[in-house]
């Protein structure tokens, strides 16, 4: 039998991505897999470059990105950015200790000036829903994923374009503080707009950040 014709489209090529990255965030045996649809193209391209170039470590992602050019990754990012983001009902928030919740909220919304530690909201927006084309939203992400990413920055296993502002922030946090922040954010309701539809870029950030384009 003749082999069926396969359309040579970017959507068809992206099937290698959508095998894991569904239209919505989901948990898989290998861990949390975020949705890509509707996220800013610049942010998506930067993350794929980070996996390809070893600044962000994940064996499967690194293998998929290894032989892809900057231009091809940009095309993939544009493809996913044009897809509609899907908002799904969130599971009921789990109960967390009041003290941990207060500590996590204080660090996320006010930071700690004594340690030159900026608030999460200073970059990710007042509702942590993302800001500009480079800074992603956080509500809706599970606790384990948030802890893993902050821990990876703290340990130097994840790097962004220098100066790496997230690494600076994570290294100023104690492990118990990372857990408290992750607990508090994971219990926030999702923003009114799906993540990936951020506001206009802020005019200033508390730290120099190489991953954020100048406004």
Q: Cα dist. 107→16, 19, 67, 127, 192 in Å?
A: 38, 37, 40, 14, 23
Contact at 8 Å (CB) between 156 and 112? Answer: no
Instruction: List beta partners, residue 26.
Output: 33
Average pLDDT on 120-145 reads 89
**Can you tell me the mean pLDDT for 196-212?**
70
Q: What pLDDT, on the 0 to 100 scale, is given for residue 192?
A: 64
Question: How high is the pLDDT of residue 23?
Answer: 84
Kindly state the average pLDDT of the residues 88-114: 83
Q: Which domains does the chain have, with CATH numbers?
A: 10-82 (1.10.760.10), 98-186 (1.10.760.10)
187-194 CB contacts, 8 Å cutoff, 24+ apart: 187/93, 187/94, 187/96, 187/101, 188/128, 188/138, 188/139, 188/140, 189/90, 189/139, 190/87, 190/90, 190/139, 190/140, 191/127, 191/128, 191/129, 191/137, 191/139, 193/129, 194/38, 194/85, 194/86, 194/87
DSSP 80: H
Mean of the pLDDT values across residues 119-125? 94
134-188 per-position pLDDT tens digit: 888 898 888 999 999 999 999 999 999 999 999 999 999 999 999 999 999 999 8
> What is the average pLDDT score of the chain?
87
Please state, in angstroms and rounded to a whole number, the distance separating the CA atoms of residues 34 and 130.
Answer: 15
CA-to-CA separations, 215 to 1, 47, 120, 198, 208, in angstroms, rounded: 57, 20, 19, 14, 13
Secondary structure (DSSP) of 24-41? S-EEETTEEE---TTS-H
């Amino acid at each position: 039998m003749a082999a069926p014709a396969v359309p040579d489209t970017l959507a068809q090529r992206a099937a290698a991505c959508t095998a894991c990255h569904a239209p919505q965030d989901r948990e898989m045996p290998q861990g949390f897999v975020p949705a890509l649809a509707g996220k800013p193209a610049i942010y998506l391209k930067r993350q794929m470059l980070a996996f390809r170039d070893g600044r962000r470590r994940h064996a499967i992602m690194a293998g998929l990105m290894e032989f892809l050019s900057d231009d091809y990754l940009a095309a993939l990012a544009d493809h996913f950015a044009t897809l509609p983001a899907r908002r799904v009902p969130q599971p009921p928030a789990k109960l967390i200790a009041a003290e941990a919740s207060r500590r996590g909220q204080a660090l996320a919304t006010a930071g700690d000036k004594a340690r030159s530690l900026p608030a999460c909201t200073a970059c990710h927006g007042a509702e942590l829903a993302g800001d500009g084309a480079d800074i992603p939203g956080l509500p809706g992400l599970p606790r384990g994923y948030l802890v893993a990413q902050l821990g990876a920055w703290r340990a130097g296993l994840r790097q962004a374009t220098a100066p790496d502002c997230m690494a600076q922030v994570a290294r100023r946090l104690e492990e118990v503080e990372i857990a408290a922040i992750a607990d508090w954010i994971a219990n926030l309701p999702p923003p009114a707009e799906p993540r990936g539809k951020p506001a206009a870029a802020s005019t200033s950030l508390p730290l120099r950040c190489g991953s954020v384009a100048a406004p």
